[in-house]
Amino acid sequence: MNHDAYDDNYIRSILNNVKSIAMVGASPVNVRPSYFAFKYLAQRGYDMIPVNPGHVGKALMGKPFVASLADIDRPIDMIDIFRNSSHIMPVVEEALKLSPLPKVIWMQLGARDDAAAEKAEAAGLKVVMNRCPKIEYGRLSSEISWMGVNSRTLSSKRAPIPTQGMRLSLNRTSFGGGQTAASDRAAKNKTETT
Amino acid sequence: MTDRLPGFSTLAVHAGAQPDPTTGARATPIYQTTSFVFNDADHAASLFGLQAFGNIYTRIGNPTNAVLEERVAALEGGTAALAVASGHAAQLVVLQQLLRPGDEIIAARKLYGGSINQFTHAFKAFGWNVAWADPDEIESFERAVTPHTKAIFIESIANPAGSITDIEAIAAVARKAGVPLIVDNTLASPYLIKPIDHGADIVVHSLTKFLGGHGNSLGGIIVDAGTFDWSKDNKYPMLSEPRPEYHGIRIQETFGNFAFAIACRVLGLRDLGPALSPFNAFMILTGIETLPLRMQKHCDNAKAVAEFLSTHPAVSAVNYAGLPGDKYNALLRKYAPKGAGAVFTFSLKGGYDAGVNLVSNLKLFSHLANVGDTRSLVIHPASTTHSQLDDAAKVKSGAAPEVVRLSIGIEDKEDLIADLDQALRA
């Protein structure tokens, strides 16, 4: 598995197939990136569970915080880890004790732990590192193009009209688009030097 | 299955433009509207708080402009782009994100005369200081670095003489200094040179020139390479610090590798206001679809005209990197093997007066202050674009009194050569 560059189809299949997402490190503060991503994914219809021991007793968009993955009362498809690279491994180890196992470990933009990824992949999980599911969803549905962002996709097919709360057109097949190789290299150099 | 990577010409036609979701229109619609309705109060709050992607007001973003932005980002290999009203507006918005009063930018001495004016006078009034360096002497960039340096600015193919800049060498200076390299890629267009592949962190364009290509619409654009770590030394508080305009959001932390383009949009364009008309965006988009075809023809015509002039008895020198003996020919083969662009200068044995006469005797070439049009253009920089510089600065920037600048169009090259020949004899 090449964790420097993911095929669109790999990301697309994850975002199309997971239904419940536990977000470890979710913040109730409405200017934090985790809050942005939580709200966005909840509005796209994912069953979101905020995990943060510092906020138990509070709720995020009506969803009560839980202290740890073990406290979640239902199977989870994906764990989105909003923590620094140095805090990834314990979360992955906790995830691997769950039954049933989650299907996907997702580490947020800026976070990467290759050893933790290897461990999760050995247990049959899919892993995404150093990406944001909100950005990837926006990119593959072309919604992010409204902000002038290079979605790196091309398509001659008409997209459904986007409305709040519905899944956008992740299922459209699209042709690869413009590349951002320079940015990918810079990200790799950054994670290697930190 | 690995995604297939499309080529440049495919991106020039398709990137950013999908059939309109509402109507199915295949050409990009002109969304000539100031504003966009919100679904409800929460949607409005989400958009204003940068929590959701979407449209609010055309001064911040517009769906027609967004197609243009994504297309140029794709052609340059950047993560995102922001279209603005002109190339000058692009430079203003970029530097507003990077400089505070008392900060400095190092700029190549060989720049478009309008940029030299903007940096020297308008930006100085903001307390943004410029240190000039010579792109033919890389050490001059190194010597200009100070603790106040916040960016380095160069042109890939430099106005007015079409000289080729060693982008990689200057990118290395920028990396060592811990500042971003900004490259104005207007004269090359991404068809000839992709500065991001050579180490640029930000690319700017006057879209008015080869990208739009038809001399009918002003526009500018900023491309974010997604390569620079804005938070590393806290040197760039617009990107790394909590922004009071947005309740304390940190732009880089929130937007990752397209944070610079977002900062330009939500802190620059929103507050400074130089928005691009959606109609202009449409015209420029249409132009970009034929960029690869036009640019090759521009280059082929320019080479033929430069070869003709280089043997003409009235001409003392031709500065065109595409000529084998030119001092920039080696850099050209490295950076722009497809061609040397269409803007170059030549010198007349008859000096200033011969320059003025030539311009008035031409019948097909238009005398005006633009480049990158389908039509061939001519100007005498010493009496026009560079007239505000003193004599020494004119010479240093390549606009000495005997120099004439051409922008070669896509007409038949035989007709262009015949026009120059009759005007030089007249």
Domains and CATH numbers, chain B: 8-287 (3.40.640.10), 291-425 (3.90.1150.10)
Is there a contact between B290 and B213 (Cβ–Cβ < 8 Å)?
A: yes
The chain B residue lying nearest A180, using CA atoms, is B77
**Interface contact B78-A150, CB threshold 8 A:** yes
Long-range residue pairs from B139-144, CB within 8 A, at least 24 positions apart, any chain: B141/B106, B141/B170, B141/B173, B142/B173, B142/B176, B144/B106
- B286-289: long-range contacts (C-beta < 8 A, 24 or more apart)? B287/B211, B287/B212, B287/B213, B287/B214, B287/B217, B288/B12, B288/B68, B288/B71, B288/B72, B288/B75, B288/B211, B288/B212, B288/B213, B289/B12, B289/B13
The total number of residues written for chain B in this structure: 426
The answer to the question of residue A1 being in a domain is no
Residue A3 maps to a domain: no
Residue whose C-alpha is closest to residue B348's, from B294, B419, B405: B405
The answer to whether the CB of B342 falls within 8 A of the CB of B179 is: no
Phi then psi for residue B88, to 5 deg, are -60, -40
**A window 58-87, beta carbon within 8 A of B:** none
> Cβ contacts (< 8 Å) between B288 and chain A: which residues?
none
Q: At which residue do the structure tokens 């420029």 appear?
A: B284
Which of B165, B162, B158 is closest to B112 using CA atoms? B158
In a domain, A82, yes or no: yes
pLDDT of residue B46: 86
Asked whether the CA dihedral A57, A61, A63, A69 is positive or negative, the reply is: negative
Residue A127 lies in a domain: yes
Q: What is the pLDDT of residue B12?
A: 97
Inter-chain touch A150–B248, beta carbons under 8 Å: no
- Selecting from A138, A148, A154 the residue whose C-beta is nearest the C-beta of B14 gives A154
Residues in A closer than 8 angstroms to B246, CB to CB, are 31
Beta-carbon separation of A182 and B16 below 8 A: no
Residue B302: φ, ψ to 5°? -60, -40
Residues contacting residue B221 through CB under 8 Å, at least 6 positions apart: B68, B69, B72, B81, B82, B83, B84, B90, B204, B205, B207, B211
Q: Are B318 and B408 in contact (CB under 8 A)?
A: no
Are A31 and B73 an interchain contact pair (Cβ–Cβ within 8 Å)?
no
Report residue A40 CA to chain centroid gap. Answer: 11
CA of B168 vs chain A CAs: smallest distance (Å): 13
Under an 8 A CB cutoff, do A149 and B78 touch? no
Query: Is A146 within 8 Å of B69 when comparing Cβ atoms?
Result: no
Size of interface A-B (CB pairs under 8 A): 160
Identify the residue among A43, A128, A149 best suited for mutation to test binding to B, counting B beta carbons within 10 A and taking the highest. A149
Whether A73 is covered by a domain: the verdict is yes
- Listed as ranges, residues in chain B with pLDDT below 70 are 1-3
Contact A13, A73 (CB under 8 A): no
- From chain A, the residues in CB contact with B69 under 8 A are 148
- Are residues B3 and A9, on separate chains, in Cβ contact within 8 Å? yes
What total of structural domains would you count in chain A? Answer: 1
Of B5, B40, B262, the CB nearest to A179: B5
Residue A78 forms part of a structural domain: yes
Least Cα separation, residue B385 to chain A (angstroms): 32
Domain that holds residue A58: 8-155+164-193
Q: What pLDDT score was predicted for residue B21?
A: 83
Q: What is the DSSP string of B129-180?
A: EEEEE-TT-HHHHHHH--TTEEEEEEESEETTTTEEP-HHHHHHHHHHHT-P
Interface of A with B in 35-54 (CB under 8 A): 35-36, 39-40
Residue of A145, A173, A190, A191 to mutate for B, most B C-beta atoms under 10 A: A145
Nearest residue, CB atoms, B197 vs list A149, A178, A182: A182
Q: What is the pLDDT of residues B370-383, one digit of tens each?
A: 999 999 999 988 88
Question: DSSP E strands: which ranges in B28-148?
Answer: 80-84, 104-108, 129-133
pLDDT at B426: 82
Low-confidence residues of chain A: pLDDT under 50: 165-166
pLDDT at A169: 59
Angle at B281 between CA B277 and CA B285, to 5 degrees: 170
Pairing label, strands B377-379, B366-367: parallel
Indicate whether A121 belongs to any domain. Answer: yes
CB contact under 8 A, A183 and B79: yes
- Amino acid occupying residue A45: G
CA A94 – CA A111 distance, rounded (Å): 17
Residue A165 confidence (pLDDT)? 47
- Report yes or no: A165 at the B interface, CB cutoff 8 Å: no
Which residue is closest to B62 within chain A, CA to CA?
A146
- Residue of A143, A178, A185 with shortest CB distance to B75: A178
Torsional class of B150: left (φ above 0), alpha (ψ -120 to 50), beta (otherwise): alpha
Q: How far is B35 from chain A (nearest CA, A)?
A: 14
Query: For the domain that residue A77 is a member of, what is the CATH number?
Result: 3.40.50.720
